[in-house]
Structure 1
Amino acid sequence: MTELALTADERLVLHALELIVKIELQGAAGADRLNRKLAQWRAADTRHEQAWCEAMTRWTALSGMGNELRAHFPQVNQDGKNRRISRRRLLAWTLGTVGLASLGSGGSWYLHQPLYARSFRTGHTQTLVVTLPDAAGAATAATSLELNARTGIDVRLFRSRRLVILEQGDVRFSVLHDRSRPFFVQAGAGTVMVRGTTFTVSCRAGALTVAVEEGHVSFYRESSAEKIDPERTLADAELFGGQLLHLRDGTLEVLRQADASAVADWRNGWLNFNDVPLDEALAQINAYRQNPIRLADARAGMQRLTGRFRVASSYDMPRILTEILPLQSRTLPDGEVELRSRS
């Protein structure tokens, strides 16, 4: 069998894993002694603590492994005496089960498990700021996400990449630059890739907008980030600061000069629309309404809306829209408002 070339840090992780496995196999008395030993080892060096955190991440990814461990390594012989497990056998089992980065084509199974996985949802009128645990050190600013109302995202941080899946809504990203871990945003029919920049992604009513305030992002007409190889996959558009992209019904439009910050003006309590189809605009407006505005006919949805409106005026928008567009409104018994084209 070929000897594995392990780094010093990886040896520390394996040592922590070995202690975790031994604790799992021991009875209560033995586990207490090993827990004290583990606590002393962690406290002896900051590298030990970091190694323990990584070991626990790998161990947690294999939840429910306790029963399988006991099946491989019975605790007690028939004579009632504890069975002594050789360090070599225990370490080999741990290596084979938990895996190392140095094993085989691109890494072992655990590398494909996220280090961090969370979902975030906001209700109507609610916004949220999320800081991701992806900073390299205490002096490094982590990635920050600002979620608009009625927004839903799933976050997955892996060892070699970072991924946000935007189900619907609006998110402004301030992404930590990390060349070794590219950052992907998967939204609707497209995916954005970035290593460090500030930009906003909006995905509502079947339309996708990407607005870059500073930095550089690549856009792919690909709904799965896993299919994108940053070194080989050709992007459908490259966006830089002050540029905006819009995708709807398969039509891709790139605006080379745009006020990208205006797309995230909801952060300041404003909604900005610049010649936007009304059905798209209503998806933004309804994020702040408990009783949404509906369209009674397709012609009404094709009306174009331009203007800057306060978020606080969302409940007065039916009246405002009928004053500036050829529309009429009526309130339905359930409280929703219906807009239809004037005859």
Structure 2
Amino acid sequence: MSGGMAMGAPRERLVERALALILEGEMAPGDAAGQARTALNQWRIKSDEHAAAVQEARQRWNALGGMAHDLRAHFDEPEGPLMANAANAAAAAAATASSTHRQQRRKMLFSVAGLLGAGLVAGRGVQWYWQQPVFRSAYRTRTAQMLKVTLADGRSGRNGAIGAIGAIGATGAMGSQLDLAPQSAIEVTLYRQRRFVDMAHGEVRFEVSPDSDRPFEVHTRSATIEVVGTAFTVRDRGGPVTVGVEHGHVRVRVTPPRGLAGAETRVIDLYKSDQLEIVDGQPGRVQQADTAALSAWRDGWLVFENTPLGDALAAVNSYRARPIVSNSARIDAMRLSGRFRTGDSEGLLAALPTILPLTTVVHPDGSVALQVR
């Protein structure tokens, strides 16, 4: 070897140059990859310092081999029509576009090489990589609308399909199933090491695909629900936050309201048929219940069991263009039990005066007011 320099720690700029050639040899399509590997070998033998830089670069690349799949998509060449009819003007324009693409790809190679440099060795880049979401999407349902979301977050899709997460209504996917009731809103964010749902309001049933390496979290106003794999429903219509487990095991972390002196986070484990209500940041007693009834709306039913009328009306109104409203906290606190069709709120209105001491007043706009009899 030439150069006459003693072997030692390679200069960072040389490591980045070696990384760029390694990346191109791994990622570039067709002949470009072979040319990059040849160039790397020729560059390596120029000096001991170059050889040391290549060795260090390979160690970094091998340590971060999991990035290869995510990066490869960024370096693919355009296909098909770009090289057709080379004799005409369209082909000339396509060739120019292809050349520009290659230049952009090379710039990206050097940018990634820089990322894989000293910052990653110090650990900052690795931390950045794992903290980046691989999928993010918001889902919202309108009045009387339900939505089924299927996530490709199952173990079988963690490698090859990790960039194709979020199919709606897909079948055959080994992923989590989310059913949204009307007037519900959530945001789903999937990371390489965890799965996260921010639930703004509404009702959602979760059938979570088991993955012990990537826990599933649901964040609500009052609590965080942690799960590895199970089926459960969360209801938040503005009153109590209700969690009911159909099977499996979830852990609920109840965060006390801000400003509540001496209050601490409560951790409560729920199992099959356990149901928990959280009111103003305070968890109630865990009760045994028909937890599947919480998501009976999937089959066209609303089931209430000693439910505060204000909370029940919020669910009923999610199916009505004109709401049913009360004029007092006393009415909201009344308790309702019964089973009602989601599309038959008029039947509920007819039944209410026979169940509770109420009268109904229909307004010209179609809304209905409840008054104490």
TM-score, length-normalised on structure 1?
A: 0.72
Say whether 1:301 aligns with 2:332.
yes
Which residue does 2:238 correspond to in 1?
205
The one-letter amino acid paired with 2:252 is F
Question: Of residues 215, 218, 224 in structure 2, which corresponds to 1:185?
Answer: 218
Q: Distance in 1 between matches of 2:296 and 2:269?
A: 23
Q: Which runs of 5+ in 1 are unaligned?
A: 21-26, 39-68, 74-84, 224-232
Question: How big is each residue's C-alpha offset from its partner over 1:135-180, in whole Å with a ceiling of 9 and x where there is no partner?
Answer: 2326872111111111111111111111111111111111011111
Q: CA deviation at 1:255?
A: 2.7
Say whether 1:95 aligns with 2:113.
yes
Question: Of residues 188, 197, 200 in structure 2, which corresponds to 1:164?
Answer: 197
Question: How big is each residue's C-alpha offset from its partner over 1:239-285, in whole Å with a ceiling of 9 and x where there is no partner?
Answer: 01110110112331133421111111111111111111111111111
Q: CA deviation at 1:319?
A: 2.1
Question: Relative to structure 1, is the Cα distance of residues 294 and 106 closer, same or farther in structure 2, using a 3 angstrom cutoff?
Answer: farther
Q: CA deviation at 1:289?
A: 0.9
Say whether 1:154 aligns with 2:172.
no
Say whether 1:254 aligns with 2:320.
no
Question: Relative to structure 1, is the Cα distance of residues 101 and 285 closer, same or farther in structure 2, using a 3 angstrom cutoff?
Answer: farther
**TM alignment of 1:1-343, pairs within 5 A:** 1=12, 4=60, 6=62, 7-11=64-68, 17=74, 29=95, 32=98, 91-97=109-115, 104-105=123-124, 107-137=126-156, 141-222=174-255, 236-342=267-373
Q: Distance in 2 between matches of 1:274 and 1:219?
A: 22
The one-letter amino acid paired with 2:326 is L
Q: Distance in 2 between matches of 1:341 and 1:5?
A: 72
Question: How big is each residue's C-alpha offset from its partner over 1:74-123, in whole Å with a ceiling of 9 and x where there is no partner?
Answer: xxxxxxxxxxx7xxx96453233589987615834343332111111112
Contact 1:18 1:94 in 2 (8 A): no
Pairs aligned (count): 281
Question: Relative to structure 1, is the Cα distance of residues 339 and 150 closer, same or farther in structure 2, using a 3 angstrom cutoff?
Answer: same
Question: Relative to structure 1, is the Cα distance of residues 108 and 306 closer, same or farther in structure 2, using a 3 angstrom cutoff?
Answer: same
The one-letter amino acid paired with 1:135 is G
Q: CA deviation at 1:328?
A: 1.1
The one-letter amino acid paired with 1:96 is G
Contact 2:309 2:335 in 1 (8 A): yes
Question: How big is each residue's C-alpha offset from its partner over 1:155-206, in whole Å with a ceiling of 9 and x where there is no partner?
Answer: 1111111111111111111101111111011112111010110010111123
Question: Relative to structure 1, is the Cα distance of residues 104 and 30 closer, same or farther in structure 2, using a 3 angstrom cutoff?
Answer: farther
Question: Relative to structure 1, is the Cα distance of residues 11 and 262 closer, same or farther in structure 2, using a 3 angstrom cutoff?
Answer: closer
Contact 2:154 2:211 in 1 (8 A): no
Runs of 4+ in 1 over 4 A off after TM superposition: 11-20, 89-92, 97-103
Question: Relative to structure 1, is the Cα distance of residues 211 and 34 closer, same or farther in structure 2, using a 3 angstrom cutoff?
Answer: same
Q: Distance in 2 between matches of 1:175 and 1:253?
A: 25
Q: CA deviation at 1:337?
A: 0.7
Which residue does 2:31 correspond to in 1?
none
Contact 1:208 1:247 in 2 (8 A): yes
Contact 1:243 1:254 in 2 (8 A): no
The one-letter amino acid paired with 1:147 is L
Q: Distance in 2 between matches of 1:103 and 1:269?
A: 56
Question: Relative to structure 1, is the Cα distance of residues 249 and 173 closer, same or farther in structure 2, using a 3 angstrom cutoff?
Answer: same
Q: Distance in 2 between matches of 1:248 and 1:120?
A: 26
Q: Which runs of 5+ in 2 are unaligned?
A: 1-11, 13-55, 78-92, 158-171, 257-263
Q: Distance in 2 between matches of 1:249 and 1:288?
A: 26
Contact 1:213 1:261 in 2 (8 A): yes
SS in 1 for 2:289: coil
Question: Relative to structure 1, is the Cα distance of residues 287 and 90 closer, same or farther in structure 2, using a 3 angstrom cutoff?
Answer: closer
Q: CA deviation at 1:5?
A: 5.3
Q: Distance in 1 between matches of 2:130 and 2:225?
A: 23
User: Identity of aligned pairs, percent?
Assistant: 36
TM-score, length-normalised on structure 2?
A: 0.66
Q: Distance in 2 between matches of 1:237 and 1:244?
A: 11
Say which is worse superposed, 296-305 or 310-319, in terms of deviation: 310-319
The one-letter amino acid paired with 1:178 is D
Contact 2:308 2:333 in 1 (8 A): yes
Contact 1:294 1:336 in 2 (8 A): yes
SS in 2 for 1:312: coil
Contact 1:101 1:111 in 2 (8 A): no
Question: Relative to structure 1, is the Cα distance of residues 328 and 234 closer, same or farther in structure 2, using a 3 angstrom cutoff?
Answer: closer
Q: Distance in 2 between matches of 1:269 and 1:18?
A: 49
Question: Relative to structure 1, is the Cα distance of residues 108 and 336 closer, same or farther in structure 2, using a 3 angstrom cutoff?
Answer: same
SS in 2 for 1:179: coil
